[in-house]
């Protein structure tokens, strides 16, 4: 599984680097503007890093829609990989992309703080809430794909379970935005993420058709 995961990461690193490059460019431009205008109130400090988080999410969406079905078919025929292992690759890939995006985002926020000399704790809170929120969005992709596949394959109960978990996850994410405490918000988001990962993997291993 790790070998297949590594191959996917290597293959899509161009997309990731490109996405991070664009996001980094936008963040850098904001940083320059912030420096030139000298208006610390005008642009929130977390915003420069947020673009890099978003880049991780967008690349996750691209990967989820890019010939995954075909490649899973090929991998399933490649000797030793089981559907459970392929499900693992499917749900762990967004984690990897989001981790790289988050790392770059945190570095950018640190850079912003160094340049402006101002690190507002509220910025860190907002970063943590929005960052995990974007990660949760990225994990919803496989869940929606698998719930749709279950419906298409006539696995009615599996499809209902998938869509129900999706609805609960969206509810948790929506409610989480209103929590004042970071831990409460992140707890709700993490619950949604774990639920989405587990159910997406479960739905994938229960497929009756691995070709589409």
Ramachandran quadrant class, 38 (left: phi over 0; alpha: psi -120 to 50; beta: rest)? left
User: Among 4, 30, 43, 124, which residue interacts with other proteins (rule: CB under 8 A)?
Assistant: 4
The reply on whether position 3 binds other proteins by CB under 8 A is yes
Q: Evaluate whether 94 touches 60 at the Cβ level (below 8 Å).
A: yes
DSSP state of 177: T
Given the structure tokens 């910025």, which residue do they identify? 123
In three-state secondary structure terms, 154 is coil
Binding mask 93-132 for other proteins (x = CB under 8 A): ----------------------------------------
* C-alpha span between 86 and 70 (Å, rounded): 12
Using the contact rule CB under 8 A, the part of the chain among 32-40, 70-78, 131-139, 159-167 near other proteins is 70-78
* C-alpha span between 125 and 72 (Å, rounded): 38
The reply on whether position 65 binds other proteins by CB under 8 A is no
Query: Which residue's CB is nearer to other proteins, number 109 or number 201?
Result: 201
Site for other proteins in 135-154 (CB under 8 A): 154
In terms of Cβ atoms closer than 10 Å to its own Cβ (0-12, 13-18, 19+), residue 97 is buried
Query: Which residue's CB is nearer to other proteins, number 180 or number 211?
Result: 211
The reply on whether position 187 binds other proteins by CB under 8 A is no
Residues interacting with other proteins, by CB under 8 A?
A: 3-4, 7, 11, 14, 67, 69-84, 154, 205, 207-211
């Amino acid at each position: 599984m790790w070998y297949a995961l590594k191959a996917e990461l290597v293959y899509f690193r161009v997309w990731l680097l490109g996405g991070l490059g664009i996001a980094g460019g936008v963040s850098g431009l904001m940083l320059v503007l912030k420096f030139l205008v000298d208006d610390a109130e005008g642009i929130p400090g977390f915003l420069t890093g947020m673009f890099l988080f978003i880049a991780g999410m967008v690349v996750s969406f691209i990967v989820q829609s890019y010939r995954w079905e075909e490649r899973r078919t090929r991998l399933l025929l490649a000797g030793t990989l089981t559907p459970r292992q392929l499900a693992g690759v499917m749900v762990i890939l967004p984690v990897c992309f989001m981790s790289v995006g988050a790392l770059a985002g945190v570095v950018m926020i640190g850079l912003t703080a160094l340049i402006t000399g101002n690190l507002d704790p509220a910025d860190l809170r907002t970063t943590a809430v929005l960052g995990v929120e974007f990660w949760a969005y990225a994990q919803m992709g496989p869940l929606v794909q698998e719930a749709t596949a279950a419906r298409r394959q006539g696995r009615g109960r599996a499809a209902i379970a998938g869509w129900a978990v999706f609805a609960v996850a969206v509810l948790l994410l929506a409610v989480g935005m209103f929590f004042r405490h970071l831990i409460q918000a992140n707890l709700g988001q993490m619950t949604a993420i774990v639920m989405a990962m587990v159910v997406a993997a479960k739905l994938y291993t229960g497929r009756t058709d691995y070709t589409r």
